[in-house]
Amino acid sequence: MADFNTIDDLDLNGKVVLVRVDVNVPVESGQVTDATRIEKIVPTVRDIQAKGGIPVLLAHFDRPKGKRVDAMSLKVVLPALEAALGQPVKFAEEAIGGPAKRVVADLKPGDVALLENTRFYPGEEENDPTFAASLAALGQAYVNDAFSAAHRAHASTEGLARLLPAAAGRLMEAELKALDAALGNPQRPVVAVVGGAKVSTKLDLLGNLIEKVDHLVIGGGMANTFLVAQGIEVGKSLAERDMAETAREILTKAQSGGCTIHLPVDVVVAREFKAGADSETVAADACPADAMILDAGPQTVEAIRAVFEASRTLIWNGPLGAFEIAPFDAATNAAAAEAARLTREGKLISVAGGGDTVAALNKAGVAGDFTFISTAGGAFLEWMEGKELPGVAALQKH
């Protein structure tokens, strides 16, 4: 991974520091229901203050598409932000222009301000140089702490980094170091677990991983497509039959590239998809015509455990079965517990990301044991696909 600046590399004393954060949190009835993302930016804000800088936070909220939408004002996150920081936060009703300039001009060392939703302006998502320059005029340094928005080339994620001395915040720094340890310069062997419903949505991901990892475990509905590609009947299971040829190509490429693909050897099937439905475990090639595959079976889990045991680095994206409903969460829970145990014992570096993955690991009660869990959905996926992330590229030392 290319070298990038951190807060430690910038002189921030007496300077207004524009800090791109992700506080796009769930809200119900005007109240923040999960402040995790807000809490994660606290170390960055504190460290900027410790260096004599005055943090001015930039963020988006929801998708107003370049127009002012009162229901999407960042005002809604202020109480949660103040609670997390333990201090008042000044709010500017605009992200640029007079209102923003007045709030920033009144700031003293120790203060924090939040500017209004950057996506209220069409120039944000267009990465318009004039809008970026209007933001840049408010401060003397820029810190990006929003890895989750780093796959977007927006004015506040990419444009600003070209106009001011720029660095990664603590959360961004942790994310980049964890990702480098997982795919950039990993301890081998590396195993990747890729689950989820569809092969078609993860083609770029699979194509990149088979060139970078030693073992690839495929689970969820995707695995059914690979079984179909090998001529195995999967009954009424979710499978993309039109992707069979693509799946065969992936299997061939992996074989010639020295990557071992692991598919289910046994599966849990049921006639209906509901909690507590009658289910049975059968061989992967013995799914009854009137049943559907909803999870990997115990023999498959044992095989995955053995791969984890023999590996030094794990990257995980997607569940192994229909984890939302018991008993079809058993394989995901068991494999996650094994990854957590090996991580606790110092035998495995484990990095996971993606919405369903984080939900599954939280449900399994092991999220806290993984080396690193990325809360960045799209950015984590694009990084796994081997794509350059504009917001990260802009922070690299030249």
- Which residues are marked as active site? 37, 198, 355, 378
Position 13, amino acid: N
Contact by Cβ (8 Å): 257, 233: no
- Are 291 and 327 in contact by the 8 Å Cβ rule? The answer is no
CA 123 to chain centre: 25
Please spell the DSSP secondary structure of 325-375, one letter per residue. Answer: STTTTHHHHHHHHHHHHHHHTTS-EEEEESHHHHHHHHHHT-GGGSSEEE-
Query: Residue by residue, what is the 3-state secondary structure of 203-225?
Result: HHHHHHHHHHCCEEEECHHHHHH
Which spans in 169-202 are helix H? 170-179
Residue 36 to residue 31: CA distance in whole angstroms: 14
Measure the CA–CA gap between 281 and 65, rounded to whole angstroms: 48
179 vs 186: CA distance, rounded Å: 9
Rg (CA), the chain: 23
What DSSP designation does 186 have?
P
Helix (H, G, I), strand (E, B), or coil: what is residue 139?
coil
**What are 41's two structure tokens?**
């930016």
Please tell me the distance from the alpha carbon of residue 61 to that of residue 26, in angstroms, as a whole number: 10
| Residue 332 CB neighbours (<10 A) | 29
Q: Residue 117: left if φ>0, alpha if ψ -120 to 50, beta else—which one?
A: beta
- For residues 77-98, one letter each, b for 16 or more C-beta atoms within 10 angstroms of the residue's C-beta and e for the rest, the string is bbebbeebbeeebebbebbbee
Q: Of 99, 80, 69, whose CA–CA distance to 31 is shortest?
A: 80
In whole angstroms, give the CA distance from residue 338 to residue 333.
Answer: 9
